[in-house]
Amino acid sequence: MVVMRAIVSRTDPPPPLGEGVAWSGGCAYPSRREDAVKILVLGGDGYLGWPTAMHLSAAGHVIGVADNFLRRQMVMEVGSGSLTPVQTLHERVRAWRDLSGTELDLFVGNLVDAAFVEDIFKSFRPDAVIHYAEQPSAPYSMIDRKHAVGTTRNNVEGTLNVLYALRDIAPETHLVKLGTMGEYGTPDIDIEEGYIEIAHKGRKDTLPFPKLPGSMYHLSKVHDSHNLHFACRIWGLRATDLNQGVVYGIRTEETELDERLCTRFDYDEVFGTVLNRFCVQAVVGHPLTVYGKGGQTRGFLNIIDTLQCVRLAVEHPAERGEFRVFNQFTEQFSVRDLATVVARTAEDLGINVVTEHVPDPRIEAEEHHYHATHTKLLELGLRPHLLTGEVVGHLIQTVQRHKDRILRDPIMPKTKWDPRS
């Protein structure tokens, strides 16, 4: 375990690192709000974790970030890289201090190491934990047995360690855990937010919504959801599971402040999401690769809305014993819809684009019913930022600005859900 205070500002007292725990000077920050919350962002070096940490810090909360840089390592493993030049977490924490005058506590280690988790909880004493620290790629989990088992172990055991640390060290702390809309799969009925009332043989009960996860990654998230539900039912913990759709965009109020604060942008077949990939393909003159018929429909949201949602969840915590599930997205699109939007926007910018249907490397329905409820975050105050032509235009322009960094090899799908197919 490496625990460190990222930067010790000149006026801070020296941290007692000799004790093997991080010094947390949170309460001493002069800018702390009256109702400020101490928030630990697990996975604080990631695509969403880093912007979340800055956003909540800017909102006056006291922030700690933990990461083991697994995402950077995995992206290197598959031969890809972020389109945007991402600084190290230490450098970003330093830049954020320079710009905001606010310190973030930094913890480097692996959640699968229970001692590391316990040490953070004991030293930082969070009021809320935002848990992004999981292997987030479906294709990565489907590479082979080793990657499937590795994803399961990393995600499920890491989360179990967090649940036990909450139980034993911080039972009042609110866990905000990132789940995924992909846990539900594509059932032939409308998807509800975590639970569904079932009438059956003259009786009724409200039960967890049945799950049809479509990859080893999605399975690991379903396992997490069951474990969280148990911890709330049996130990009385409080948790919010944010079943998030596909996030796009890299522009937030805080990332715009300085180039050093930007977040990662992945576009490869393993870690990139479909909208990013289409924008990169448009810029490099590659046909937009629609998997199969392109009728696969999913929920999407702007990164700005991810930050809003996570903040709403933290500032309106679940009750003791409550396992709350919110579906976190603002719009539904099919893959075909997205290809059309990107092609149209690119043409407005003078880029000629063609669309190509390639065999779907995944095993999934290419035409299906999809209607998912997503009202709970709206009721808490979410104000959606929708996918306009302007938003897509900005994404394409961002890609153009970094065009010389694009790697072509990792774009086309190679990871098949069934290696015999």
Q: Is 300 exposed, middle or buried (0-12, 13-18, 19+ CB in 10 A)?
A: buried
1 touches a second copy (CB under 8 A): no
Question: What residue type is assigned to position 412 of the chain?
Answer: M
Instruction: Rank residues 57 and 155 by Cβ distance to a second copy and give the closer one.
Output: 155
How many of the other CB atoms lie within 10 Å of CB of 222? 20
CB of 231 to a second copy, least distance (A): 10
Task: Identify which range of 24-32, 39-47, 203-211, 405-413 contacts a second copy by CB under 8 A.
Answer: 203-211
CB of 59 to a second copy, least distance (A): 33
153 touches a second copy (CB under 8 A): yes
2 touches a second copy (CB under 8 A): no
Strands, DSSP E only, in 36-113? 38-42, 62-67, 105-108
Are 194 and 209 in contact by the 8 Å Cβ rule? The answer is yes
Instruction: Rank residues 284 and 363 by Cβ distance to a second copy and give the closer one.
Output: 363
Among residues 28, 198, 284, 407, the one that binds a second copy under rule CB under 8 A: 198
**Residue ranges in 102-131 that form contacts with a second copy under rule CB under 8 A:** 114
CB of 221 to a second copy, least distance (A): 10
Are 246 and 273 in contact by the 8 Å Cβ rule? The answer is yes
Active site residue 195: no
Among residues 235, 287, 321, 384, the one that binds a second copy under rule CB under 8 A: 235
Among all chains, which residue has been given the structure tokens 């006056």? 60
HSE of 128, CA atoms in CB hemisphere, 13 A? 27
Among residues 13, 34, 35, 201, the one that binds a second copy under rule CB under 8 A: 201
In what side-by-side order are the strands of the sheet with 174-180?
2-4, 105-108, 62-67, 38-42, 128-131, 174-180, 238-244, 323-328
Active site residue 376: no
Q: What is the four-CA torsion angle of 168, 170, 176, 182, rounded to 10 degrees? A: 0
Work out the angle at residue 92's Cα, subtended by the Cα atoms of residues 90 and 96, and round it to the nearest 5 degrees. 120
Residues 174-193: x where in contact with a second copy by CB under 8 A, - otherwise, as a string: -------------xxxx-x-
Applying CB under 8 A, the site for a second copy has a residue count of 50
Among residues 316, 344, 369, 403, the one that binds a second copy under rule CB under 8 A: 369
Active site residue 375: no
Which value, in Å, is the radius of gyration of the alpha carbons in the chain?
A: 21
Are 185 and 366 in contact by the 8 Å Cβ rule? The answer is no
152 touches a second copy (CB under 8 A): yes
CA–CA separation, 225 and 207 (whole Å): 13
CB of 145 to a second copy, least distance (A): 4
The CA-atom distances, in angstroms, between 299 and each of 55, 161, 229, 244 are: 23, 30, 23, 8
Among residues 2, 28, 76, 212, the one that binds a second copy under rule CB under 8 A: 212
209 touches a second copy (CB under 8 A): yes
Are 31 and 55 in contact by the 8 Å Cβ rule? The answer is no
- Residues taking part in catalysis: 180, 217, 221
Q: What residues make contact with a second copy under the rule CB under 8 A?
A: 114, 145-146, 148-149, 152-153, 156-157, 160-161, 164, 168, 187-190, 192, 196, 198-201, 203-205, 207-214, 216, 219, 222-223, 226-227, 229-230, 233-236, 363, 369, 417-418
